[in-house]
């Protein structure tokens, strides 16, 4: 890791000038289910939204606000209801959430982002939401990061938060983040959400491109079941409270710090995947481009058959080769090597003779390292996936009813 | 159905002038595992091959022969070994299979196609193959269709064959076919194979385009687990033995007959899918194009979460909407209706109020009809899928070892 970057305990309220609170307003059967993240000063903001064309109301409203307002000062988020497939009423409700928060904070509703996660096709209990927002506003504080991480959970089994301190020009700058699971990138339980804060001074366009890069290598490089939810959203607020204006050389440090926060959160999401027993870390090496590498990694990680083999700790390399061939990228398939850790399974795209019991043992670990050497370039990509288990199927077969 | 088309019992030796034999040569642990399909006269031929970029040796050899020879007279096929990821030796072995068959039949090896299905990464036992081909040649006969359908099985539980008689210009023309499962479009058990025969008189280009259309709406419109094997192949031989030269108006009858054979075989494959308990028939209606409809249908059928919900008979329409949004096509998502049979689940992309227990009951049937009305065009598509079961995961977790 970069010597100027240090992971520290904390989350979204670790950077200077951010307050937050997660509280319970009664949308879920138990636990916190509504939160507000607030910056004391107007923040530069950027966000990445789901690629699913069927998008929830809060996604539309947040996009509008991000486009119309020059700064963002708060994010209001609820779990327990995705406010998706809710038509005009859903749009009005999402907009109303930003208005209630804005009124309490005495800011413009345009400077509030909104996110929801939970069941698709049900309407928000706006009375509970309104009371909840006002309640959360009354308890906003500098230690509210963890309660906020809890309030965005759905099928997650634990809250997910990360903070790093980076040194720029000899001064500390902080980045914090929380995320909620693609537990199973569930169904009616839409969503991967990630909220990031920093006290760095950064212009909007730069912040947006740095967020996009961090998201590409983290949240866009993990897969639980290949389904992209209707409510996915990653947003970052940069309030400049550190007073540190990065120069050219600091930017790569900031990017590395942001990448670290997102990568750690992404790994937490995969480790907490519903019904999964193992994390699969796929390194695609010597690829013609990072994008090609990522597509190949995702094709492997999304292959039902590869995931089943991982569950059974079965070194079924034929499934891996078939998944590479199905990645939809133009590459030469004649000289590919595949390893689990240091054990060679495939050499030059042909069956290797390997120790089956050692392979089985390596595949039985909690975290499995799969290396695919394409030998046709200098780029690389890392993709995280998990196994497909009988428990996952049972859980998802009997969810909504 | 077209009044000039009648499904009859039979398979690939039902059309005039075709002989076949399936025999056991010892590649699988039990059952027939090698077959030859032979036309007494040179045949016009066409084929569609796997889109997986990692292709088995027999796929390469068959492509070469189809390109270089003006007619094809035989197909040699084995199960138990896919001859994939076998490098130069695999290519020599696949070519040798065509040479052994050609020598026995006294034809050019260029006029022989070859196909293999079974484990990836193992080499063919060429001594057994050679003895097997000669054995099969010695018993070629007009009743060999069923033994051939048996010889191409891998994890299939039953042989799959279909025949139809169509009337063109008042005279009967026959089309027959066999297929083997995408039982699980397995792993090391690569492959969907389909072989079709007809005694119609048809020029090569027309035959190729008609085969492509039939394959698109049948084998390319089914999915078991979204994985495309390295060995998939559909081939048709048209030997002209009926003497009936179709005129313009007959061509649509022939296409409908060919479609029927392929659709029946495709449905048999899905019904025989490894570990699946239900067939899901997805009708996409009022689509802007057939292709758009098919992509949406496949996105639904490939969604892990939709497949789990189907297993549990859970009317989880949110997952269906999310899968439509993930299909990667440009459509308007605001006014979509979704039904199970006649029961409305979603109206204008919003949650309908429906009888949950009736929905559960409809989803508990062996065959489930899902209708998606896009209301933005006049085209339609039908896609067949199946549920994802705990049995499928267990089976595929412990397959190769």
Given an 8 Å threshold on Cβ–Cβ distance, is B397 in contact with A309?
yes
Nearest to B314 among A323, A327, A401 (CB): A401
Residue ranges of the domains in chain B?
A: 5-261, 279-397
Q: Is the pLDDT of residue A5 over 80?
A: yes
pLDDT of B1 strictly over 60? no
Average pLDDT over residues B218-228: 80
Residues of B in contact with A314 (CB under 8 A): 397-401
Q: Catalytic positions of B, please?
A: 191
pLDDT at B392: 80
Q: Is the pLDDT of residue A188 over 50?
A: no
Inter-chain residue contact B227 with A319, CB threshold 8 Å: yes
**Geometric angle at alpha carbon B344, from B343 and B348, rounded to 5°:** 165
CATH label, A5-271, candidates 3.40.640.10, 3.20.20.100, 3.60.70.12, 3.40.50.880: 3.60.70.12
* Nearest CB neighbour to A225, from listed B304, B309, B360: B304
Q: What is the pLDDT at residue A189?
A: 41
Q: Residue A392 pLDDT > 90, yes or no?
A: no
pLDDT-wise least confident of A86-95, A207-216, A252-261, A326-335: A326-335
Question: Has residue B253 got a pLDDT over 80?
Answer: yes
Residue-level pLDDT at B174: 97
Q: Do B322 and A229 touch (CB under 8 A)?
A: yes
Answer whether residue B16 shows pLDDT above 90: yes
Record: contact B309-A187, CB cut-off 8 A: yes
pLDDT at B77 over 80: yes
Rounded distance between C-alpha atoms, residue A68 and residue A121, angstroms: 28
Environment class of B19 (CB within 10 Å of its CB; exposed 0-12, middle 13-18, buried 19+): buried
Residue A349: pLDDT over 70: yes
ipTM for the predicted complex: 0.80
Point out the least confidently predicted range of B23-27, B122-126, B347-351: B347-351
- Cα nearest neighbour of B306 on chain A: A187
Across the interface, of A324, A356, A396, the residue whose CB is closest to B309 is: A396
Surface-to-core class of residue B203, CB atoms within 10 Å of its CB (0-12 exposed, 13-18 middle, 19+ buried): exposed
Closest among A155, A182, A57 to A400, alpha carbons compared: A155
Q: Please give, rounded to a whole number of angstroms, the shortest distance from the CA of A162 to a CA of chain B.
A: 29
**Which H or E run contains B259?**
helix B248-271
Query: What's the CATH fold of domain A279-397?
Result: Ubiquitin-like (UB roll) (3.10.20)
Q: What is the DSSP string of A303-348?
A: -HHHHHHHHTT---HHHHHHHHHTS------SS-EEEETTEEEEET
Contacts of A121 in chain B (CB under 8 A): 317-318, 350-351
Per-residue pLDDT, averaged over B264-273, amounts to 90
Query: What pLDDT shows up at residue A353?
Result: 83
Tell me the pLDDT of chain B averaged across its residues. Answer: 91
Overall average pLDDT of the B304-317 stretch: 90
Least confident piece of the model among A299-313, A382-396, B172-186: B172-186
Chain A residues with CB-CB distance to B121 below 8 A: 317-318, 350-351
Mean per-residue pLDDT for A326-355?
91
**pTM score > 0.95 for this model?**
no
Task: Give the C-alpha distances (Å, rounded to integers) separating A54 from A59, A60, A114, A180, B226.
Answer: 10, 11, 17, 20, 22
Contacts of A394 in chain B (CB under 8 A): 390
Least confident of B61-70, B142-151, B188-197: B188-197
User: Tens digit of pLDDT for each residue in B108-118?
Assistant: 999 999 999 98
**What percentage of chain B has pLDDT greater than the value 70?**
96
**Identical fold, B5-261 and B279-397:** no
Question: Which residues in chain B have their CB less than 8 angstroms from residue A316's CB?
Answer: 187-188, 399-401
**What local confidence, expressed as pLDDT, does residue A391 receive?**
84
* Residue pLDDT, tens place only, A254-301: 999 999 999 999 999 888 887 789 999 999 999 999 999 999 999 999
pLDDT surpasses 80 at B198: yes
Catalytic annotation on A13?
no
Give the pLDDT confidence of A122-142 residue by residue, as tens digits. 899 999 999 999 999 999 999
What kind of fold does domain B5-261 have according to CATH?
3.60.70
Best residue of A307, A322, A391 to probe chain B, by most B CBs closer than 10 Å: A322
Q: What is the pLDDT of residues B130-184, one digit of tens each?
A: 999 999 999 999 999 999 999 999 888 899 999 999 999 999 999 999 999 865 5
User: Scanning every residue of chain A, which has its alpha carbon at the shortest distance from the alpha carbon of B229?
Assistant: A322
A315-326 pLDDT, tens digit per residue, is 888 889 989 988
Give the contacts of B286 (CB within 8 A, at least 6 positions apart): B373, B374, B375, B376, B377, B378, B379, B380
């Amino acid at each position: 890791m970069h010597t100027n970057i240090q992971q520290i305990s904390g989350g979204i309220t670790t950077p200077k000038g951010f307050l937050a609170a997660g509280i319970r307003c009664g949308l879920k059967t138990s636990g916190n289910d509504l939160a507000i993240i607030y910056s004391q000063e107007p923040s530069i903001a950027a966000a990445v939204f789901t690629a699913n064309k069927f998008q929830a109301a809060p996604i539309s409203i947040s996009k509008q606000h991000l486009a119309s307002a020059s700064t963002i000062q708060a994010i209001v988020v609820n779990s327990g209801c995705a406010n998706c497939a809710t038509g005009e009423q859903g749009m009005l409700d999402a907009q109303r959430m930003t208005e209630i928060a804005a009124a309490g904070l005495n800011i413009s509703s345009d400077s509030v982002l909104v996110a929801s996660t939970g069941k698709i096709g049900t309407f928000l209990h706006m009375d509970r939401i309104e009371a909840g927002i006002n309640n959360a506003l009354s308890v906003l504080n500098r230690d509210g990061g963890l309660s906020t991480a809890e309030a965005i959970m759905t099928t997650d089994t634990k809250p997910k938060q990360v903070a790093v301190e980076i040194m720029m020009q000899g001064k500390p700058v902080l980045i914090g983040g929380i995320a909620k699971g693609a537990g199973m990138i569930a169904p009616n339980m839409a969503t991967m959400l990630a909220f990031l804060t920093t006290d760095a001074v950064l212009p909007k366009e730069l912040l947006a491109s740095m967020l996009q890069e961090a998201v590409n290598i983290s949240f866009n490089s993990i897969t639980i079941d290949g389904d992209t939810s209707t409510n996915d959203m990653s947003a970052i607020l940069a309030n400049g409270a550190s007073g540190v204006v990065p120069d050219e050389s600091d930017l790569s440090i900031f990017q590395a710090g942001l990448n670290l926060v997102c990568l750690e959160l992404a790994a937490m999401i995969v480790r907490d995947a519903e019904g999964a027993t193992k994390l699969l870390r796929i390194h695609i090496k010597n690829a013609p481009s990072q994008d090609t590498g990522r597509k190949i990694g995702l094709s492997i990680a999304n292959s039902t058959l590869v995931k089943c083999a991982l569950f059974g700790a079965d070194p079924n390399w034929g499934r891996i080769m078939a998944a590479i061939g199905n990645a939809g990228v133009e590459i030469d398939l004649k000289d590919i090597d595949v390893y689990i850790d240091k054990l060679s399974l495939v050499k030059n795209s042909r069956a290797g003779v390997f120790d089956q019991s050692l392979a089985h043992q390596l595949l039985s670990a909690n975290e499995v390292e799969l290396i695919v050497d394409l030998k046709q370039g200098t780029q690389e990509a890392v993709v995280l996936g998990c196994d497909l288990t009988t428990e996952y199927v049972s859980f998802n077969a009997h969810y909504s009813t």
